[in-house]
Structure 1
Amino acid sequence: MHNEPLAYKMRPRNLDEVVGQEDIIGKDSALYKMIIKGHVPSMLLYGPPGVGKTSIASAIAGSSKLPFFALNATQAGKSDIEQVVMDARMSGKVILFLDEIHRFNKLQQDTLLPHVENGSIVLIGATTENPFHSVNPAIRSRCGEILQLTRLTVEDVCTLLQQALTDKERGLGKLGVSATNEQLIKIAEASNGDARKSLTLLESVYYASDEQDGVTVLSDRAIEHLAKRIGVYGDKGGSHFYNLLSALQKSIRGSDTNAALYYLAHLLESGDIVAVCRRLLVIAYEDIGLANPAVGAHVNAATDAAQKLGLPEARIPLAAAVVEMCLSDKSNSAYKALDAAIAAIHEGKTGDIPNHLKDAHYAGAKELGHVGYQYPHDTPIGTFGGWINQQYLPDALVGMEFYKPVIAGEEKRMASIYEKLKSFKM
């Protein structure tokens, strides 16, 4: 027990010791009141590592006084589940904490589900993946609560660190440690809202610092050196990674350069350049579009260069592409127009192609009536090029408009041409 990590030893023993997540498990929350009154529902806890999923589960067990069993879905077998079921039969209701529940297989579910359904087992599942994408519906339907946990604030982490420094039973209190508020803030900021990382960093800094007059004085140099090693959570292919991609696109769409660069930095720390480049290319055409058509070519060149260069140099062309897209005029008119046309087809708004547009490059086309097409290039119109007033849509769709110009950037000029050509048809 002496060798247990500080993060493990400081795990809350009851709900009143939980730090952060006030809206979910604070004293004014519905869940807290239910548990204190003896009602513990099955639930799913969803969020990034280190935000308190395991801690909340053990705290619920401590406050409810129910027997507590913890399993990891990547390692648990049918026999482990059967043992929990047997204990539930012998001792009554128990809590089963199942970490990485999104990896639960069907055989395990079949063994466990009836007992969750009849209430003899309270299931608390934890996952870093979006449960609506990754957790079997049979499990979700039996969990009354699906709770999304968020990263702890710097203030929350500082509170946790202060508790670890002063707790003489489980923390560093009996060892004699001196730390400034500024140092705790640095540790909290480096942990990025991850309680486990913050306590692990604190413990490492403690052992890397020198003792003065019987007191270990935390070293600024040790904090700075060790903080660089704790890493950034960016699980490739996981929910958090896709959330980062989504945040990057929405920040570019919203023209927030600083936010976009922050999310780009976070994504590049995960090392998946290909996924980032693909998303940036999509953004160039989805959100910039006709307002600045040159951006598509610029982003394509930047993403090509990034993939050839690799990290860390890849960040240079990607940063330029992101800033350019943030500050560019924006339009989504082109793809919206195409989506409108697709929707019309799905709604059955179709018709036969006009005969004069059908292929006529074969003997017998005239006999089928595939005649009458007029070649626009033969009829110049100002500086626009060739244009002639003839029908292109099927008879049933004549007059339908899918494209609605956005009056922004280069599309202003395109919009005026579009409206002028419409007037010629009248």
Structure 2
Amino acid sequence: MSDTNIPLPERIRPRSLSEIIGQDHLLGEQAPLRQMIDQGHLPSIIFWGPPGVGKTTIALLLAQAVDRPFISLSALNTGVKELREVIAESGDLLPPVVFIDEIHRFNKSQQDALLGAVEKGKITLIGATTENPSFEVNSALLSRCQVYTLHSLDETAIQQLIQRALGTDKFLKERQIKIEEYDALFQFSAGDARKALNLLDLVASTFETGQENIINNALVVKTAQQNIARYDKSGEQHYDLVSAFIKSIRGSDPDATLYWMARMLKGGEDPVFIARRMLIAASEDIGNSNPNALLLAGECFRSVQAVGMPEARIILGQCAVYLATSPKSNSTYLAINQALQLAEKTAHLPVPLHLRNAPTKLMKQQGYGADYLYPHDFPEHFVLQEYLPPELKGTQLYQRALNKREVEAERLQQRRWQQQNQQQ
């Protein structure tokens, strides 16, 4: 394969820790990882940070720095069987560094398989995750690893990265590239080194050799928009697929819902992310028209975390079809948004005396809790009583939707409004 067929991030991948741009808080002269490597010590580690900040590269270079074998695995296509085979082949005298990308996608049984090997020192684990490890990695495994946070690259680091590429890559050097403006490169890369280099490579591919070529903001924007699928496979398309999936649920189309979900799964989307989106849709788009939807989505979320792929696809499919075919209502979604807006404007209003708590004698003497009517003392456990500040009397935030569940639940609410109108 010619060099031009190799992506730019691979062509200029750092070959030593000193070549890493950014992450000085971990790799600087007095930083913790640098000090450990200088002492020849490498513990098990979890790297937490956004995509394109060097997690994989740093893991490889750490293994090289302590002269240890390096085994790279992806949580997307590694099962318990493969993990056990790697562990079984590990030597006792020189345990390998096992790097697992997207370790947050491992289910409990997969993480448990790692735990024993880490405890016995058969492997040194380096896991990489874009999700908070305290939520996604089980506590037993997490307690045996050092957790280090990697940061998005700032504009200075992105500029240094681009300048290094221009000065070291043969393909780019032949095109005599001069960069007049960096703003668009910064904007589109968003702190992701891989995105920045891929975009630079795309722009440079349109240039001829033997003449000076200028890169400015307009050219970068044009190139990125024309080649968005090549430039950012997990960015724009990721959000478009999620949007189509949620809108298909909202539109009560189970076939489209399953199709877009399958597209996401085939594209490598995290099944836990899909389950999380359904959990939100169950409340936002279905709500009290079918409260069981939220319960099912919650159980789906927990089950997907416990089971993992490929079996999780069955659970995801069941929940997706249930949500798509359920009655729909966004009444509570609208109501809480209106309530938050009203609360922001009226935060100065005091709680009415009859609704206040009165744990002390002094508070009771001041009228706290006085004249409060206990609804359970009245027929049907209901009594007309004002629960809002006087200034907001009559305010209606919740507007029920036309579905059986919400219409039935509104009976006492309608009675309260009728009595209020009679008293006015």
User: Shorter-chain TM-score: what band?
Assistant: 0.5 to 0.7
- Superposition deviation, residue 354 in structure 1: 8.4
Q: State yes or no: 1:224 paired with 2:232.
A: no
Paired letter, 2:345: N
Question: Which of 184, 187, 207 is the matching residue for 1:189?
Answer: 187
Q: Deviations over 1:364-414 (max 9, x none)?
A: xxxxxxxxx9x999xxxxx999xxxxxxxxxxxxxxxxxxxxxxxxxxxxx
Query: How far apart, in 1, do the equivalents of 2:349 and 2:149 lie?
Result: 32
Cα pair distance change 1:196/1:202, threshold 3 Å: same
Whichever residue aligns with residue 46 of structure 2, its letter is L
CA contact (8 A) 1:290 1:333 kept: no
| Aligned partners of 1:18 and 1:59 also within 8 Å | no
Q: What CA distance in whole angstroms lies between the structure 1 residues aligned with 2:32 and 2:117? A: 25
1:150-299 pair list within 5 angstroms = 150-168=151-169, 172=171, 174-180=173-179, 182-211=180-209, 213=210, 217-218=214-215, 221-228=218-225, 229=228, 230=231, 232=235, 282=336, 284-286=338-340, 288-290=341-343, 292=345
SS of match in other structure, 1:70: strand
The separation in 2 between residues aligned to 1:148 and 1:19, in whole angstroms, is 15
The counterpart of 1:31, out of the listed 11, 19, 33, is 33
Does the 8 Å CA contact 2:158/2:191 hold for their aligned counterparts? Answer: yes
8 Å contact kept, 2:172–2:204: no
Match 1:8 to one of 7, 10, 32:
10
Q: 1:52 aligns to what? A: 54
Offset of residue 55 of structure 1:
2.1
SS of corresponding position for 1:147: strand
Decide whether the 8 Å contact of 1:66 with 1:94 is kept in 2: yes
- Shift, 1:53, TM fit: 1.5
Aligned residues: 284
Question: Where does 1:352-363 land on structure 2 (aligned, <5 Å)?
Answer: 359=377, 361=379
Question: Which structure's CA Rg is the greater one?
Answer: 1
CA gap of 1:107–1:172, structure 2 versus 1, over 3 A, is: same
Distance 1:206 1:113, change over 3 A: same
Decide whether the 8 Å contact of 1:289 with 1:332 is kept in 2: no
Q: For residue 110 of structure 1, report the CA deviation from its aligned partner.
A: 3.5
Q: Which residue of 1 aligns with 2:263?
A: none
* Aligned-partner Cα distance in 2 for 1:238–1:129: 10
CA distance in 2, matches of 1:159, 1:179: 14
Structure 1 alignment gaps of length 5 or more: 246-273, 294-329, 345-350, 363-372, 378-382, 386-426
Kindly provide the amino acid, as one letter, of the partner of residue 29 in structure 2: K
Task: Tell me if structure 1 keeps the 8 A contact 2:97–2:125.
Answer: yes
Question: Does structure 2 retain, via aligned residues, the 8 Å contact 1:154–1:189?
Answer: no
Alignment-derived partner of residue 93 in structure 1: 95
- 2:248 matched residue in structure 1: none
Over 3 Å counting, the alpha-carbon distance change for 1:208 and 1:282 in structure 2 is farther
Amino acid in the other structure paired with 1:197: K
Aligned residues of 1:101 and 1:125 also touching (Cα < 8 A): yes
Q: 1:266 maps to which residue?
A: none
Residues 248-397 of structure 1 correspond to what in structure 2 (within 5 A)? 282=336, 284-286=338-340, 288-290=341-343, 292=345, 359=377, 361=379
Q: Secondary structure at the match of 2:205?
A: helix
Deviation at 1:115, TM superposition (A): 1.8
Q: Secondary structure at the match of 1:152?
A: coil
Deviations for 1:52-87, whole angstroms, at most 9, x for unmatched residues?
Answer: 221221221232222111111110123432343244
What TM-score do the two structures reach when normalised by structure 1? 0.56
Instruction: Determine if contact 1:166/1:172 at 8 Å carries over to the other structure.
Output: no
- TM-score, normalised to structure 2, is 0.56
What is aligned with 1:117? 119
* Structure 2 counterpart of 1:146: 147
| Structure 1 residue 183: Cα displacement | 3.5
Provide the rounded CA distance (Å) in 2 between the counterparts of 1:49 and 1:279: 32
Q: 1:218 deviation in Å?
A: 4.2
* 8 A contact 1:209–1:218 mirrored in 2: no
Partner of 1:313: none
Cα 1:115–1:219, aligned 2, differ >3 Å: closer, same or farther? same
Q: CA deviation at 1:280?
A: 8.7
- SS across alignment from 2:91: helix
Runs (4 or more) in structure 1 with deviation over 6 Å come to 233-237, 277-281, 353-357
Comparing 48-57 and 220-229, the one that deviates more: 220-229
Partner AA of 1:292 in structure 2 = K
Q: 1:41 to 1:361 in 2, by over 3 A?
A: closer
Find the residue that maps to 2:90 and give its secondary structure: helix
Q: After superposition, give the CA deviation of every residue in 1:265-319 in whole Å (9 maximum; x if it has no partner).
A: xxxxxxxxx9xx9989656534x444536xxxxxxxxxxxxxxxxxxxxxxxxxx
Q: Is the alpha carbon distance of 1:157 and 1:40 closer, same or farther for their aligned partners in structure 2, counting shifts above 3 Å?
A: same
Using a 3 Å threshold, how does the CA distance of structure 1 residues 284 and 21 change in structure 2: closer, same or farther?
Answer: farther
Deviation at 1:113, TM superposition (A): 1.8
Q: Please report how far the alpha carbon of residue 204 of structure 1 lies from its aligned counterpart in structure 2 after TM superposition.
A: 0.5
**1:331–1:58: structure 2 CA closer, same or farther, 3 Å change rule?**
farther
Distance 1:32 1:332 in 2: 56
Letter in 2 for 1:158: Q
Kindly tell me: are residues 201 and 42 of structure 1, through their superposed partners in 2, closer, same or farther at Cα, counting changes over 3 Å?
same
Compute the RMSD of aligned alpha carbons: 4.4
Please state how far the C-alpha of 1:173 moved relative to its aligned partner: 5.2
Cα distance in structure 2, aligned partners of 1:68 and 1:225? 40
